[in-house]
Structure 1
């Protein structure tokens, strides 16, 4: 997984598929603009597009250095103590916000 992510980050300027994967992983507004540019046929060597691609590429490399790997169909969970006292010591309650999943 690390090799694939690093390969995508390193080939973002030469492979449309890798560029789109990196943009989707970061999902920011600027990423949507860059993805639209790629999908409409603007070449990857266009100056503005390269500038837009360099941001998520650098973020991807920083994340990999920090040990964070994008795993599709996964969630980040945040834990807290049970303020109600209903859960037993070996139980957890996971609440997925429907709004968040469909942003």
Structure 2
């Protein structure tokens, strides 16, 4: 997987990415209680999310999904979401994060 991500990133963006992996998680007990100071019994699972990132010194954000085989680009100063896409999800979450909102997504 790591080699595939690196090669795909380099073919799309002509640079070497920083790569990170976040494992998925299951809760054997205590669904949605850990962030409310309740008891949980979480465990990591093999499925998870891989991300490859790199700066580009442009005013353009470029996204590509291996799973969906989709590419999405937007100018940072002139983006206006119009329909539901992977790019809009990433952009929207980033804008909410800038405003101080925090979202927790499960797998």
TM-score normalised by structure 1 residue count: 0.24
Is the strand fraction higher in 1 or 2? 2
More contact order relative to length (CA 8 Å, sep ≥ 6)? 1
Higher Cα Rg, which structure: 1
